[in-house]
A and B are shown apart, each in its own frame.
Chain A
Amino acid sequence: MLLELKSRLQVESCEEYLSRLYEKIEKSELYGFTTLAKESALEQAKQFDKNHGKGILAGVPIAIKECISTNGIETNCSSKILRGYIPPYDAHVIEQLKAEGAIIMGKTNMDEFAMGSSTETSCFGPTKNPWDRSCVPGGSSGGSAAVVAGGEAPCALGSDTGGSVRCPASFCGIVGLKPTYGLVSRYGLVAYANSLEQIGPLTHTVEDTALLMQVIAGHDERDSTSARGQDCSYLSGLQNGVAGLKIGIPKEYFGEGVNKDVEKAVWEAIHKLESLGASWQEVSLPHTRYALAAYYVIAMSEASSNLARFDGLRYGLREGEDKDWHTTFSAIRAKGFGPEVKRRIILGTYALSAGYYGRYYLKALQVRTLIKEDFLRAFKQVDILASPTMPIPAFRIGERINDPLSLYMADVFTVPINLAGVPAVSVPCGFSGRLPIGLQLMGPHFGEATVLRTAAAFEAATPFHEAVPEVI
């Protein structure tokens, strides 16, 4: 789609195309965008029309999640505490996009500080699922997924800490990739749980994801966890098919708790891949049941520290009369953070406290190692793993927001991937009623090429990515 769009923009006016998108956004009831960079984007489009650039993404508009720093454009993580914060610098991925000629359209809604899987914890209110506006788009990158699925942006970037790209991709019927930890620089990504998260694309097709990955992946010396020497030419070899590919089916990812429609669609997808020349076998990831607990302990602990900087002193919310330091910053944080963020900060603070550190944080790190070993062992037997992305299709807005535990449970198949640091993509593989279902394909560390090649083969043999929500 993006390559097609690029050639269209060589003959049609980019400015007109972009104007049509903004018109649609302004009338939209999805509430996917939060901050628009209309003026600068249209100006850039005008320049593009005059003088077509050479970049890989020349003239291609892109939506960016609220937690990725954009120079001169508000970056608020959908939190009241960061309203009005305009970064003086671009995230690494934004620099890369700009260098390749992409046009930053604006910022998209998310769960506050990426804490959630429904985009309902945003200070702006929930984004709606384009397939059914009474449903959530998933989260936390719900805004990015909804604007792509809803035809308001041709592609978007999200971030994935425990499934935050894959979950909304699954719920909105599009492609979303969580890259290997270290493949995409986190410089400029506002941290929620820094040892787990990666920035990833949300697109209509696997090819588009591969294209965006070619732009955003690669070494960055400003991120000490950034990998060196990776071949990031994901477009080449994308069409090589799955003949001889060995797929592992982790038995712990099926059965109890998985919606019947979801299970059926995923098995059909596996059989489709089989018909394309792949083989499958059952494998075991025995420590899966400890993943959620370990994930939440680690994520909340890191969050309690990562979010400590938001004290209203240098940027963001500053309200009321300044009293002494402790009173003032406490008041600002009390007012600026929503309930889910507070819950995670408090739990994380508790888990890191003297006397509990060993019982919770260290234990969680040990579990993390076991989970990583599960994956390493599995990838000795098979090339790739397949499972549902989410155990359920999109749920209704308001349905789970007051039951955090059931919300956390929905992340059961996505969080182990972040704990292990391996890559995983969600591709559309069917519907439950009118709600999309996502197939999750997981690869070994830096196995993006295999993951994307498998997803591309599946996509080419199925019609799901062509489905368009009725609202459009």
Chain B
Amino acid sequence: MEDVIIGLEIHVQLNRLQSKMFCGCSTAYHDSPPNSHTCPVCLGLPGSLPVINRKAVEYGIKVGLALSCKIEEETFFYRKNYYYPDLPKGFQISQYDFPLATNGHIRILGDDGIERNIRINRAHMEEDPGRLVHAGTIDKAKYTMVDYNRCGMPLLEVVTEPDLTSPKEARAFLDKLKSILEYLDVFDGSLEGSMRVDANISLKGGDRTEVKNISGFKGVEKALSYEITRQKNLKRRSIKVVQETRHFDEIRNVTVSIRSKVGAHDYRYFPEADLAVLRIASWVPEIRATLPELPDAKRERFVVKYLMKDDHAKSLTSEIKLANFYEAVVKASNLPEKSTVWIADVLKGELNYRDLSIESFQVEHMVDILQMLVKGEITEDGAVQIIRALLDKKGKDPKEIVKSLGLGKAEDDAVQKAVLEAVKENAAAVADYRAGSDRALNFIVGTVMKKTRGKADAGEVHRLVKQEVEKA
């Protein structure tokens, strides 16, 4: 893998903003009829003029600071000229020289198990184009329709240096970027098309290809894996990789060459005279003061404050919502160590298994479960069953589930009674154990568990059975 070179360009919709980049149209278009979130400005009607959404630039600067970028003294917009039906002005307002932010980095865990910085070349702002819609599939549709609802959505394009060496690292980078954006509350990754990736891929010494418009994190891993395999196969057969733009076909999981009529694009960038130069350096101190604790800092704090392992801290801080959930549970229960294990190891696993987010689970429920555990009212096995039942909507709160599933821990007397009975009933097994068979002991433990219908603590039962058998 060490000979693979990957660089990413990530288009992030700053979709936590209320209005579009250059007009007052609402950004909440996702469930609206086509072309209902438009105005003369985002439709590019003759005579309309753009006005910069100051808040969007503030969000952009916020991201730049969080990525440890240098924020330019002044920033301004350019026109990127090309013809396409989703681009109603025939140019996209974007940035070129003097982008908002340059020279940053994001820390990720490399494939070699060592953390390192992936350099960010730049982050610049632009407007999203509209969206082409085909009735049925692209091949079979008789015509194409355009929906301009997305047109003018504020986009931040983050460009990395070619520092990534595998699809897995690319994924780790994107996960970290998403995490930071959500920490900053500028981005909601759950909305369709909120993050789109272009990837540059080459093998050391070879030409690079650009795979465009990959949506979804799994898509990035798949597209990159395919492209690397394709390039390696070419290399094996001594065929040169052609420097070109390729499209990722999500259905067939392959990349295909996009044959463009003209050679290199000439976007004829030039300054957008309808917009003023922004002297943003003076905005920075105020924006910096609003930066929240970011994932890396939170992770370090968790290790120190809650005395947890770094792995646990990393896991719990990977998403702002999970980290907040954890701290809320600790605050309410005052059980940091138990909270760590039960949230990072158990709850997160159950959520992932069901493809659910932490929002599917209530802080109070976690607190109840932990407290019942500590008081010995339920067993660890019972706690897992409660979590599953809550996630599968088979009960409304932990106490009710304990009752309905009969998970209350059996009384010691009842357990003792069951142990005596089991030993008495299974004389053969007792004899086998005494003859050296450990499995025989397990059989007796199983009988006790059956008698107590799982309410007994298995470890405790094992201890009692052993004591009883050895005593006799």
Q: Give the number of residue pairs across the A-B interface with Cβ within 8 Å.
A: 102
Distance of A89 Cα from B38 Cα, bound (Å):
13
| CB < 8 Å neighbour of B47 from A69, A195, A314, A326 | A69
Report B22 CB to chain A, min CB distance, Å: 9
Whether B43 lies near A314 (C-beta < 8 A) is yes
**Would you call B88 and A309 a contact (CB within 8 A)?**
yes
Contacts A325-B85, A361-B270 given; indicate if A191 touches B276 (C-beta within 8 A).
Answer: no
Please list the residues of chain A having a beta carbon within 8 angstroms of any beta carbon in chain B.
Answer: 67-69, 75, 77, 82, 85, 87-89, 91, 186-191, 194-195, 221-225, 301-302, 304-305, 307-311, 313-315, 322, 325-326, 329, 349, 352-354, 357, 361
A314 neighbours in B (Cβ, 8 Å): 43, 88
Do A305 and B51 touch (CB < 8 A)? no
Most B CB atoms within 10 A — which of A91, A187, A307, A309? A309
Contact of B47 with A353 in the complex, beta carbons under 8 Å: no
Name B266's contact: one of A88, A302, A354 (CB within 8 Å). A354
- Smallest distance from the beta carbon of A182 to chain B beta carbons, Å? 10
A305-B81, A353-B266 as given contacts; A85 in contact with B46, CB under 8 Å: yes
Instruction: Select which of B81, B261, B270, B276 is within 8 A of A225 by beta carbon.
Output: B276
Does B99 have its Cβ within 8 Å of any Cβ on chain A? no
Min CB distance, B388 to chain A, in Å? 53
Interface residues of B in 23-60 (CB under 8 A from A): 40, 43-52
Which listed residue, B46, B144, B268, touches A69 by the CB 8 Å rule? Answer: B46
B122 interface residue per 8 A CB criterion = no
The answer to whether B268 and A195 touch across the interface, beta carbons within 8 angstroms, is no
A191 adjacent to B44 (CB under 8 Å): no
Verify B276–A224 contact, CB threshold 8 A: yes
Report chain B residues within 8 Å CB of A326.
83, 261
Contact B146 A313 (CB under 8 A): yes
Confirm or deny: B91 has a beta carbon within 8 angstroms of a beta carbon on chain A.
yes
**B126, chain A: closest CB distance, angstroms:** 15
For B328, list chain A residues within 8 Å (CB). Answer: none
Q: How far is the CA of A361 from the CA of B269 in the complex (A)?
A: 11
**Does B451 belong to the interface (CB within 8 Å)?**
no
13 more contacts with CB within 8 A, not counting A308-B91, A326-B261, are A68-B47, A69-B46, A91-B47, A190-B46, A224-B50, A225-B274, A225-B276, A305-B90, A308-B89, A309-B90, A315-B45, A352-B81, A352-B268
**In the assembled complex, B458 has its CB within 8 A of some CB on chain A:** no
DSSP majority for the B interface? loop
SS class of chain A's interface: helix, strand, loop or mixed? loop
Q: Which of B40, B44, B274 contacts A89 (CB 8 A)?
A: B40
Cross-chain contact A224 with B85 (CB below 8 angstroms): no
Chain B residues with CB under 8 Å of A224's CB are 49-52, 274-276
Which residues on B sit within 8 Å (CB–CB) of A91? Answer: 47
CB distance from A465 to the nearest CB of B (A): 32
B150 sits at the interface (CB 8 A): no
Taking CB atoms and an 8 Å cut-off, the chain B residues in 229-279 that contact chain A are 261, 266, 268-270, 273-276
CA A186 to CA B84, docked complex, whole Å:
26
In angstroms, how far is the closest chain A Cβ from the Cβ of B96?
A: 11
Q: Is B299 an interface residue (CB 8 A)?
A: no
Note all chain B residues with C-beta closer than 8 A to A309: 44, 46, 88-90
Per-position binary interface string of chain B over residues 87-114, scored 1 when its CB falls under 8 Å from any chain A CB and 0 otherwise:
0111100000000000000000000000
Q: Does B11 contact A (CB under 8 A)?
A: no
The minimal Cβ–Cβ distance linking A86 to chain B, given in whole angstroms, is 11
Cβ–Cβ contact B44 & A222, under 8 A = no
Q: Does B79 contact A (CB under 8 A)?
A: yes
Q: Kindly list chain A residues whose C-beta atoms are within 8 Å of the C-beta of B90.
A: 305, 307-311
Q: How far is the CA of A315 from the CA of B47 in the complex (A)?
A: 13
- A310–B91 Cα distance when bound, in Å, is 11
Does B268 contact A305, Cβ atoms closer than 8 Å? yes
Q: Which residues of A contact B50 (CB under 8 A)?
A: 224
